[in-house]
Structures are given as structure tokens and as C-alpha cells.
Amino acid sequence: MIANAEALLKPLTIKGLTIRNRVMSTSHAPSFGKDGKPQERYQLYHEEKAKGGIGLTMFGGSSSVSMDSPAAPWNQISVADDSVVPFFRQFSDRIHQHGAKLMIQLTHMGRRTKWDTENWFPVKAPSVTREPASRSVAKELEQEEIDRIIHDFAEAARRCKEGGLDGCEISAAHGHLVDQFWSSLTNHRTDKYGGSLENRMRFGIEVLTAMREAVGDDYVIGMRMTGDEMLKGGLTAEDLIAIATEYAGRGLVDFLNVMGGQARDHIAHAVSLPNMSFPVAPYLPIASAVKREVDVPIFHAQRVTDLATGARAVAEGHVDMVAMTRAHIADPHLVKKLTEGRADDIRQCIGYGYCIDRIYIGKDALCIQNAATGRESTMPHVIAKAEVRKRAVVVGGGVGGLEAARVLAERGHEVTLFEKTDRLGGQVLTAAKATWREALTGIPRWLVAQVQKLGVDIRLNTEADDAAIFALSPDIVIVATGGLPNRGEAKGAENAVSTWDVLEGRVEPAGTVLVYDEMGDHNAVSTAEHLAKKGCLVELVTHDRMIGEDIGGTNQPVHLRELYKLGVMMTPNMELIEIYPEGNRMIAALRNTMTDAEEERVVDHVVVDYGTVPVDGIHFALKDGSKNKGFTDLASVVEGRPQPFEVNGAGAAEGYTLYRIGDAVAGRNIHAAIYDALRLCKDL
């Protein structure tokens, strides 16, 4: 049992609204909105958390109250007109039937958005300033516009109440319009809204006053705010405690949702959305400091990844509600598992940041390790039993193979898993050896525990050949053998070593090292960090326009920060064309991708990352003898139907079906391997 679990499971009542426990999910922007509305996909995503026992789930991070605060950049919710109300009613009914409560976040984003989208209105702010993150230059708000936006907030609150939502919060965090007024960095006004902190608080006070007038005293209204911007020249902890005290003391807010940091630029954004390089709950003291000064309940989110940490935060009085937003993306049933005494079955968030990184490049939020999240209409969080029990063999014990074994065993099949090494986890265990990425081991750790609990026959140190497989008379064979490092096509590629060689300790470079990155992902940059920390003089070279070009916003700034600290030389727009030895050193020839100019480096070692090539020998050895010739029927996968050769009963063809998943097909990522396994095996 989790220590202090009873503190988490105790109800909380706010102004007549009773929330069944102290666990919540904060408003966020998964990019599931459609036409500015929370339609089926959005609702099912939150309904899974309600089924899973959550007390309060909040949706619609950055939901727009005005036409000049576009919802479009992240497929977000518009609360700017009454057309959203029927969707709110449907949504609230869906959540309430499972006993959870539902709230939304309302905002005007001010300068923190794009002007060249949706209605193409200029962004607005207290003063003419440019935001580094959005690159937008704001128009200074005039009094008439301020009055209109205040009215828009009030109307949006009315729509929330009419839609049956249990409450709402305004965003005064991450550099939105309310906290743009608070900050002297963005508010240079000389009228009643500028100058002193008292004046800078005025806009937010007027917004909340109008909202309260629109919905009455019995409706729950809160505010998300930072407790310390941790930004040079920004709002200090003292400033923000003064604001919190003033707003709570006036009775304007029924709760405060307190975070740490801001989001004005790339590194500030990464710091406010802490990834696995940060400790668990790094900003809990900031929320605790606000709680000491106000008499309203305090909510807090930011890398609270496990129930033990959440329980401690509540039991010790730091907060009243603990928000486990990304933790619910990893496992929406975590509260249910706690109450059922199955805490060991919780799939814990590792802080990878894949969910958030995707939305900031225009994609939908997905979990690196739970392929069902965000796909609830097609992918199950709870695997149904098959009608007929079959014998299945999985070849390969990486995360794709482990997920295949887990799902097949959950289906009730008899599963044997072959792994040629002495460990389960595959490439993920290699990646976890790089500097601050150790938390990656949490992905295979959970999968291994599940397959062991389900009784999968695990055979380590056993390379599966056709004889070993046929001895089991399988009905189903899943090839999840992964990939091996690709050395690339540069002349003299045999003179390079791979990032795998370095992280696995097969090669221990010293002196000067050139790391060449063709993939733009974590592997090369984390290997460069690893080498620099060991004392190597490192140059990181990439074909791309920037270092780590394919790494998202919660991770790339952290990598860059570490690379700069370690003195790593970073060289973009260069292609590695040749490697050759000269004496006891190596010459790396590079070509500028823009000018074709060639350069050479004299180094002690060249380390390359070109992704992987499939390990597919066993697949082709078994292909001709399989009923389906080794091919997965794509239409059946997409439509959620069993594979056509998976027939049962009289007249069924003898033999086995053969499927290939993950990097054994083509080099991709962790999520792709797990998704391949889930969507195939759930119907086998």
C-alpha cells in the first residue's frame, strides 16, 4: 500500500462541490479539439480517467474566450460563442456518470499566440512587446478592448455553467494575458493598469469580478498561476504571494492552481514543464509557500509522477489537490489500481515529454509508452479475452516484443518469449545509459513485471531459430527482433563506431571526438553529453539545420543547455562524407550542405548515429512457411478487425501466422514499437 494513501483518497469540498479524492489532472492542450469543440476523441480521453477513479479532470488548457485569442495553434477549445455549450453538456454528462468532476481552463493568450492563424487578428498585450516563444509583436490594448475582453471572460464563464461543467479556472500562468498585465516585463503602461503592482493586478481583478457576476457566488472559479517565475526581471515569489493573497482575500477565487516557472522562451518553457532530467515534484515548495499565505485550496502539478509523492504532498499539508496530469496519460486508471490494491500495476510516467513535445510541432499528444491514450475509440486500456486460446511465440524482448507478449497473454493466449541476450528491454536500456535519461528504464521495468505476472514463458539467452519455434507448434509468431546500428554510407564507415558502442561501453573514446548525427533525435546529442562528461573534447555535427532538430520543446532546450555547459562544439549543416585513419588518429571529411564546401577534422574517434537497420533474418526464414506469408493486413489493423488468417474452428488452415513489428520492420521509436504490438495483438 502507498504510504499516506488515505490522504489522497479523502474527499475535498469547495463551495458545495465535493470532489471524491485529492487526485486530479490539470487543464492541458492535447490537440484533440475539432472545430474548436471538445468532441468525441477529447471526451473519451478524459472519460478514461473518470473510469480510472480520478477525482477531478480539467480540460481545455488555453481555451479561448475571444476571437483575437485563436484556439487554432493547438486544436484547442473556443469558448467564444454559445455553440460550445451542447458539447459541454455532453462532456459533463459523460464524466459525471463515472463519479468524477469536470472543469475547464479559460484564457485570453494575449501575445502568447500566433497572429497568422484562424482570424488573422494581431495579438494583443498590455504594451507593444515581442514574445520570444511565439515571435509575435503585440498591439497595445486600448480601454475599449480591455472592456470587451473582460466581457468575453464573463460570457465564457456563463457558458461553462450552462454546459454543466463543475467549475472553471482562468490562466494567469505561462505568460497569458492576465499575467502579462502583472509583469513589468510586459506591462509598460502608465494608466490605471500599469506602474505599481496594485495597478498591474487590476485587469485580473476586473476579469474575475465580471465572471463572478455572470455565474453567481455558488459556482466554482479558480486561477492557475505561477508562484515564482524564476526569470530575471520577472515576477518574484514575493510578488506572486502578494497577488495570490489579494485575489483570495477579495473572494475572487475558490482555489489556486500554483506552478513554478514561466514560458516566455524555449528554455523557460522546458523548465516549467520538467522532463526526466528534473527531480520528482521540483516546484512543490513554491506551491507550499503560497498555501501558507492563503485560505483557499491549493492545487499543484509539475512532474508529480507517482502516488507516493502525491500522497506525501497532501498528507504533509503542502497542497490540497495533487495534479498528476502526465501520470494519467501514462496510466489513466492509476487511482482505481490504488484503491484495488494493485499499485504495482500502475504504469508510471517517466517524464519523457513525448506527449507535450508532439503538440508543439502541430501533432496530437501521445504517450511514449501507452499507445491507447488518446486513441480510446480504437485502442483498449483493458485488454479483452480472446474466444479461443492459442499458442504464441514472440521473438525479441525489447519493448515492442514485451508489449506483444503482454497483450497476447492478457488475451488469454499461451505465450513464449525468446530473447537472445541476458536482459529484457532492448534498445531502451542502451538509451538509458546516457546522462540524465536513466528514467527510460521504467518502460521495460513495467512491461517485464506485467509479462511475469501473466505467466509468459520467458527464455533469456536463447536465440530463436526455426527449430526452437516449431518445437512449440505455435499458431502465432511475432518477430520483434528490433534493429542494429546503421554505420551509414560515408566512405570508410567501418572506421567509425556507433552511439550504441559508446553507451554500452564496448568502446571508451578519449581525447577529441567527432559525433555525427544523421537522425536529429536524442541518441547522438545524449551520447555527446555522455562523452563530454567523461572529459572528451567533443564536436557534435549534424546534417540538419540545428542540433537535435527532431527533439521536442521539453527536451531539446535541456540538451542544448547541457551541451553549452560542457563546452561541446555544435556544427549544423554538415554532411559526413569520408572517414580514414592517418597515423594513430582519424580524419573526418565534412561537406557543407548549403555551399558544398569541404572541411576536415583531425580527431581521435568518430562516433555516428544513422538510426538502425532491421534484424529480420528469422522473419525471412519463417516467411514462406507461414499462412499469411509474413504480411500484416493493413486494412484490418486500421479498422480494428482480426487478421484474415486468424480463423478458428472446423476447416481452419493448419500452421502459423507470422507478423513483424517495431524496428524489425523499420527504425522508428519506442511509441511506434509499442503501438505496432498493441493494435495488432489486441485482435489476435
Question: Rounded to whole angstroms, how far apart are CA atoms 221 and 138?
Answer: 28
> Would you say 261 and 227 are in contact if contact means Cβ atoms under 8 Å apart?
no
Kindly write down the DSSP assignment for every residue of 587-612, as one continuous string. EEEEEETTT--EEEEEESEEEEE--E
CA distances from 359 to 171, 381, 552, 648, 673 (A): 19, 22, 9, 42, 20
CATH topology of domain 487-610: FAD/NAD(P)-binding domain (3.50.50)
- The pLDDT of residue 243: 98
DSSP state of 665: T
Matching fold, domains 391-476+614-681 and 487-610: no
Tell me the CATH architecture of domain 391-476+614-681: 3-Layer(aba) Sandwich (3.40)
CA nearest neighbour of 57 among 99, 85, 9, 16: 99
pLDDT attached to residue 160: 98
Q: Enumerate the H helices of 98-228 as residue ranges.
A: 143-162, 177-182, 197-200, 202-215
pLDDT of residue 653: 59
Question: Domain boundaries in the chain?
Answer: 7-22+56-298, 391-476+614-681, 487-610
CB contact at 8 A, 220 and 165: no
Q: What is residue 61's predicted lDDT score, i.e. its pLDDT?
A: 93
Of 374, 384, 424, the closest CA to residue 400 belongs to 424
Cα 485 → chain centroid: 26
Using CA atoms, how far apart are residues 453 and 503, in angstroms rounded to an integer? 31
Q: Is 279 helix (H, G, I), strand (E, B) or coil?
A: coil
Among the listed residues 173, 147, 317, the one whose alpha carbon sits nearest the alpha carbon of residue 243: 173
Q: How far apart are CA 602 and CA 361, in angstroms?
A: 37
- Number of Cβ atoms within 10 Å of the Cβ of 487: 18
Q: What is the pLDDT of residue 650?
A: 36
Q: Does the structural domain 7-22+56-298 have CATH classification 3.20.20.70?
A: yes
What's the burial of 651, exposed, middle or buried (CB within 10 Å: 0-12/13-18/19+)? exposed
Our CA angle for 439, 444, 447, nearest 5°, is 130
pTM here is 0.96
* Cβ-contact 24, 57 below 8 angstroms: yes
- Point out the residues of the chain with pLDDT beneath 70: 647-653
**Alpha carbon distances (Å) from 221 to 162, 167, 245, 464:** 14, 6, 16, 60
pLDDT in tens, 58-68: 999 999 999 99
Residue type, 477: V
